[in-house]
Amino acid sequence: MLGNTFGRAFRITTSGESYAGGFRKNPAIPQELYGGQMVIIDGVPPGLKITAQAIHEELDKRRPGLTSVSTPRKEADRVYIFSGVMEDDLSTGAPVGMIIPNSDIEDVHIRQHKENKNLVRPGQASYTYYKKYGRYYDWAGAGRASARETVARVAGGAVAKLILDKMGIDVIAYVVESHGIKAAPVTYETAKANYRKNELNCPDLHKAQEMIEDLEKVKAANDSCGGIVEVVAVGVPAGLGEPVFDKLSATIAHAMMSIGGVKGIEFGEGFKHAAMTGSQSNDTPYFDEETGKIRFRTNRAGGLLGGISNGEEIRLRIACKPTPTILQQQSTVDITKRKSIDHVFASRSDPTICARIYPVCEAMMRIALLDAIYMAEGYKSISSVIDPGWDKL
């Protein structure tokens, strides 16, 4: 399997599957080493304090089994830092390695998945994984296509957060729509003030309650629903992004679209630009006497021009599809019998992925931004050697 690394200068490499370790239970092996998720983080500077507690604070945002609008699967999501950190929890400059064991991989659940391993799960990657990896594909809980994979991303993003915090760059994500129920427009300040004040992490507290009540009804009907998550990054300097193919917008889109269940992305006003005139779409600049910087009176572009950050907050939204595994009878195909059948797939799944995907969005945004900063600062340092005043108008 290829494509398990994201980033160039600051980058993460992940491994692990939904039920990794479920087939290696052995009294001779510590339970923490049966299997789980792993992440290797390259590009961590020396002297950064990295504690398990700091990682856990991020992992707890997406930990399953904590609310009525998430899967009943119970995972401890305890992280073990096993390389790249020495005395006083300080990084050495070497790659930082972490492991998050799978702790809820009971045989009864593995048997449920084994009984269905020859059936194509509607809306899931079982068929495409089968076509790619043949009879060896991982059928247990969707394998690497499972949302369980994202815990390693969040651990990597937690390290990026430790660095970005020192730069004054903040990233926050939250739900703005669920099953067609829309929150009022959310400012960064409102999002911070109401962060995680409800099970869905919707800053519009009134609409959040309506969303949760609707989700309970959807769940009771053994169904699921989709929604929209908004991501905002503030304090991002202007000039990040590498034309032409590595625009910051393209890198962020890559980061977000790599998350399972994400079906669309838009920056700023996004698709609304298609109905605007140029005078309506353009963000007009002005000189801010107080900061001595060029600013923009509006931010319809979402903080990006030519794919490069312009110094305003970066704002985007992602569309999440409904969780594909639902406890309803659906039409499917038995691969071995080459026959169409009807089947109910028994599984522990979320009625919505929105309630736990927002920390994954935060993590991937942080990784993408920090990687872009590394690239920009490297370019800038060489340019300054050639002409110390190259970036002064």
User: What mean pLDDT is predicted for residues 17-32?
Assistant: 89
pLDDT at 138: 92
Strand pairing class (170-178; 227-234): antiparallel
Average pLDDT over residues 328-352: 92
Distance between CA atoms of residues 367 and 370, nearest Å: 5
pLDDT exceeds 80 at position 347: no
Q: What pLDDT, in 10s, does the model give residues 153-192?
A: 999 999 999 999 999 999 999 999 999 999 999 999 999 9
pTM over 0.75: yes
At residue 393 the predicted structure's pLDDT band, cuts being 50, 70 and 90, is low
Asked if the model's pLDDT at residue 70 lies above 90, the reply is no
Residue pointed to by tokens 């980061």: 255
- What is the rounded average pLDDT of the residues 22-48? 93
**Mean pLDDT, residues 95-102 taken together:** 97
Confidence of residue 66 (pLDDT cuts 50, 70, 90): confident
pLDDT reading at 125 higher than 90:
yes
Q: Any idea where the domains of the chain sit in the sequence?
A: 5-268+303-382
Mean pLDDT of 207-222: 96
Which residues in the chain belong to E strands, given as ranges?
A: 5-6, 11-16, 36-42, 80-83, 96-101, 170-178, 181-182, 227-234, 262-267, 285-288, 293-296, 304-305, 308-309, 314-320, 330-334, 339-343
SS3 331: strand
For residue range 277-301, list pLDDT tens digits in order: 999 999 999 999 999 999 999 999 9
Of 202, 193, 196, nearest in space to 175 by CA: 202
User: What's the CA gap between 51 and 239, in Å, rounded?
Assistant: 32
The string over 87-121, giving b where at least 16 C-beta atoms fall within 10 Å of a residue's C-beta and e elsewhere, is eeeebbeebbbbbbbbbbbeeebbebbeebbebbb
CATH topology for 5-268+303-382 is Chorismate synthase, AroC fold (3.60.150)
In whole angstroms, what is the distance from residue 237 CA to residue 206 CA? 34
Higher pLDDT, 303 or 392: 303
Question: Looking at residues 375-379, what average pLDDT do you find?
Answer: 95
Mean residue pLDDT across the chain: 95
Look up tokens 């692990």; give the residue: 16
φ, ψ of residue 39 in degrees (nearest 5): -140, 135
Q: What is the mean pLDDT of residues 28-57?
A: 95
pLDDT, tens digit, for every residue of 218-275?
A: 999 999 999 999 999 999 999 999 999 999 999 999 999 999 999 999 999 999 999 9
